[in-house]
Amino acid sequence: MKKDNRKKATIYDLSMLSGISPSTVSAVLNGTWRKRRIKESTAELIRDLAEKHQYTTNRQAQGLRRSRSGLVGLMLPVYDNRYFSSMAQTFEAHVRQRGQCPIVVSSSRDPHEERETAENLISYSIDELFICGATDPDGVHEVCEAAGLKHINIDLPGTKSHSVISDNYEGGRMLTEAIIGRFSTGDPLSPDELFLFGGRNDHASRERIRGFRDVKRALLGADPEASIQPTGYSPNTARIAFEAFFEKAGRLPRALFINSSINFEGLLRFMSAHPHETFADLVVGCYDYDPFGSFLPFPVIMMRQDVEGMITKAFELIEETRTPPKIHLIRPDLVPPRTALTGPLDGLKDIV
Amino acid sequence: MKKDNRKKATIYDLSMLSGISPSTVSAVLNGTWRKRRIKESTAELIRDLAEKHQYTTNRQAQGLRRSRSGLVGLMLPVYDNRYFSSMAQTFEAHVRQRGQCPIVVSSSRDPHEERETAENLISYSIDELFICGATDPDGVHEVCEAAGLKHINIDLPGTKSHSVISDNYEGGRMLTEAIIGRFSTGDPLSPDELFLFGGRNDHASRERIRGFRDVKRALLGADPEASIQPTGYSPNTARIAFEAFFEKAGRLPRALFINSSINFEGLLRFMSAHPHETFADLVVGCYDYDPFGSFLPFPVIMMRQDVEGMITKAFELIEETRTPPKIHLIRPDLVPPRTALTGPLDGLKDIV
DNA sequence: TTTTTTTGCACAATCGATGGTGCAATCAAT
DNA sequence: ATTGATTGCACCATCGATTGTGCAAAAAAA
- Which nucleotides of strand D lie under 7 Å from a protein CB? 7-21
Is B66's CB less than 7 Å from nucleic acid strand D? yes
* Structure confidence by residue, pLDDT tens digits, A131-176: 999 999 999 999 999 999 999 999 999 999 999 999 999 999 999 9
Is B65's CB less than 7 Å from nucleic acid strand C? yes
Percent with pLDDT over 90 in chain B: 89
> In A321-330, which positions are buried (b, 16+ CB within 10 angstroms) versus exposed (e)?
eeeebeebbb
More confident residue, A16 or A352: A16
In chain B, residues with a C-beta closer than 8 Å to the C-beta of A122 are 8, 56
The answer, yes or no, to whether residue B4 has pLDDT greater than 60, is no
Q: How confident is the model at residue A35 (pLDDT cuts 50, 70, 90)?
A: very high
Which of B167, B130, B128 is closest to B149 using CA atoms?
Answer: B128
* Structure confidence by residue, pLDDT tens digits, B223-236: 998 899 999 999 99
Percent with pLDDT over 70 in chain B: 97
The answer, yes or no, to whether residue A2 has pLDDT greater than 60, is no
Q: Chain-wide mean pLDDT for chain B? A: 94
Residue ranges of A 173-212 with Cβ closer than 8 A to chain B: 200-201
- Predicted pLDDT at A186: 86
Which of B248, B339, B316, B259 is closest to B81 using CA atoms?
Answer: B259
In chain A, residues with a C-beta closer than 8 Å to the C-beta of B345 are 78, 80-81, 234-235, 262
- Predicted pLDDT at A6: 63
CB contact under 8 A, B64 and A81: no
* Structure confidence by residue, pLDDT tens digits, B5-56: 567 899 999 999 999 999 999 999 999 999 999 999 999 999 999 999 999 9
Among chain A residues, CA nearest to B344: A80
- Predicted pLDDT at B45: 97
- Predicted pLDDT at A27: 97
The answer, yes or no, to whether residue B312 has pLDDT greater than 70, is yes
Q: What global pTM score does this model have?
A: 0.94
A271 in B contact zone (CB under 8 Å): yes
The answer, yes or no, to whether residue A267 has pLDDT greater than 90, is yes
CA distance B229 to chain A (A): 11
**Partner residue facing B296 (CB), from A63, A103, A295:** A295
- Predicted pLDDT at A138: 98
CA of B141 vs C1' of C26, distance in Å? 50
Section A245-266 average pLDDT = 96
- Predicted pLDDT at B275: 93
Q: Rounded to a whole number, what is the largest CA-CA distance in chain A?
A: 89
> How many Cβ contacts (< 8 angstroms) between chains A and B?
243
* Sheet with A128-132: strands ordered across: A327-330, A163-166, A150-154, A128-132, A71-76, A101-106, B101-106, B71-76, B128-132, B150-154, B163-166, B327-330
**Partner residue facing A78 (CB), from B89, B106, B147:** B89
Reduce the DSSP state of residue B326 to 3 states and report it. coil
Is B85's CB less than 7 Å from nucleic acid strand D? no
Is B36's CB less than 7 Å from nucleic acid strand C? yes
CA of A204 vs C1' of D1, distance in Å? 83
A269 in B contact zone (CB under 8 Å): yes
Which of B141, B75, B143 is closest to B109 using CA atoms?
Answer: B75
Q: How confident is the model at residue B1 (pLDDT cuts 50, 70, 90)?
A: very low
Q: Give the single-character DSSP code of B199.
A: B
Give the list of residues 6+ apart from residue A13 with CB closer than 8 angstroms, or none.
A53, A55
CB contact under 8 A, B88 and A88: yes
Among chain A residues, CA nearest to B236: A346
In chain A, residues with a C-beta closer than 8 Å to the C-beta of B123 are 56-59
The answer, yes or no, to whether residue A4 has pLDDT greater than 50, is no
Element (H, E) at B91: helix B82-97
Q: How confident is the model at residue A350 (pLDDT cuts 50, 70, 90)?
A: low
Section B202-223 average pLDDT = 96
The answer, yes or no, to whether residue B299 has pLDDT greater than 50, is yes
Reduce the DSSP state of residue B257 to 3 states and report it. strand
B348 in A contact zone (CB under 8 Å): yes
In chain B, residues with a C-beta closer than 8 Å to the C-beta of A296 are 292, 295-297
* Structure confidence by residue, pLDDT tens digits, B244-258: 999 999 999 999 999
Section A94-112 average pLDDT = 92
More confident residue, B257 or A343: B257
Q: Give the single-character DSSP code of B135.
A: S
- Predicted pLDDT at B348: 76
CA distance A192 to chain B (A): 24
- Predicted pLDDT at A352: 58
Q: How confident is the model at residue B184 (pLDDT cuts 50, 70, 90)?
A: confident
CA distance A235 to chain B (A): 8
* Structure confidence by residue, pLDDT tens digits, A84-95: 999 999 999 999
